[in-house]
Amino acid sequence: MTPVTPQSWFLKCGSAAALSLLAYAVIALAGPKAPPLPTSRDGAVTILDRYVGEPVPDVLLVGSSLTARLNEEYFDTPGLKVLGLAGGSPITALEVALARDRLPGTILIEMNILGRGVDPALVQKFSPGSAPAWPRPIRSAIAFYERWHHAPPERARARAIAAALLQGPPSDFDNRIYVERALRESSTAPSEAILANNMATLRRLVEQAEARGSRVYFYSLPLSAALQNSVTTTATAAAAHAKFSDDRRWIHLDGTKPDLRWADGFHLDERSAIIIARQIDGFLAGASERP
């Protein structure tokens, strides 16, 4: 066999790379947009990507991972979407929602996690006019496959599953070690300066939303009794109520129900999330009747 000269080797190698990249660029630009495929802590990206790709809902819940547990299928209210960002803040979610041309008629803002500010990278990524991200081809192929192979259950079936869960007893999972850990993490008050800054940002965004015709309400998801009285929770709640003091704009969720559970110490379990979703449904039904 004739030995390959370095020039020939690099020519072949470069041609193969260039042709592959060209084929990729053609498919990426002309082909269908691939859904994201989260494999780590980037669930927020998936939720935001879906939100900006779908029609604007009538009702929108924005919040952190606490809100992310409230699956849309748990609600009776039609046209409701949930923008709960795991590891993120309601401020980021609200900022993304405000970047769209049209706003939901009603926006519900979770007020549990206010120590986290806006995530500029996420807002930039999901703002109109931001440069389209080049998809990763293998990940995209798997994303299409997964979407086809594991489509979410139809609404009627999801509701049947939720109803069956409600019929059953609450979980008896022993979550003591998780509650203790969550308590340790909530034992220091959030920085007053950060909290004040985030509240100011939130007020500005709320005023923008209202100026564009949205009705805005606030809610704090119930926490376990121990966490409800933690330093972080009480400091955050005090700051939130001081800034938004009109009680008519607050949804008072009944966190005293004995069958609410927080399996990991912090987030509502599935059955409890359904119970809370039904409470929010009740509030929204009442709100729609109010002038």
Quote the least distance from Cβ 142 to other proteins, whole Å: 5
> Residue 270 interacts with other proteins (CB under 8 A)?
yes
The residue (of 39 and 245) whose beta carbon lies closer to other proteins is: 39
The residue from 161, 253, 263, 287 that contacts other proteins (CB under 8 A) is 263
> Residue 180 interacts with other proteins (CB under 8 A)?
no
The residue from 31, 124, 146, 196 that contacts other proteins (CB under 8 A) is 146
Backbone dihedral angles phi then psi of residue 214, each to the nearest 5 degrees: -85, 150
The tokens of 219 are what?
A: 């809610």
* Residue 102 DSSP symbol: S
* Residue 174 DSSP symbol: -
In sequence order, what are the residues at sequence separation of 6 or more whose Cβ sits closer than 8 angstroms to the Cβ of residue 26? none
> Residue 72 interacts with other proteins (CB under 8 A)?
no
CA–CA separation, 94 and 100 (whole Å): 10
> Residue 1 interacts with other proteins (CB under 8 A)?
yes
CA–CA separation, 69 and 49 (whole Å): 18
The distance of Cα 268 from the centroid of its chain, to the nearest Å, equals 15
**Nearest alpha carbon to residue 57 among 4, 103, 88:** 103
- Residue numbers 10-69 binding other proteins by CB under 8 A: 10-18, 20-21, 24, 37-41, 69
Quote the least distance from Cβ 40 to other proteins, whole Å: 4
The residue from 102, 145, 154, 194 that contacts other proteins (CB under 8 A) is 145
* 8 A C-beta contact, residue 69 and residue 268: yes
The residue from 124, 188, 264, 285 that contacts other proteins (CB under 8 A) is 264
The residue from 136, 215, 241, 249 that contacts other proteins (CB under 8 A) is 136
The tokens of 24 are what?
A: 């990729």
CA torsion 158→139→132→86, rounded to 10°?
A: 50
Quote the least distance from Cβ 148 to other proteins, whole Å: 12
The site for other proteins (CB under 8 A) is made up of 1, 4, 6, 8-18, 20-21, 24, 37-41, 69, 134, 136-139, 142, 145-146, 173, 178, 181, 263-264, 267, 269-270
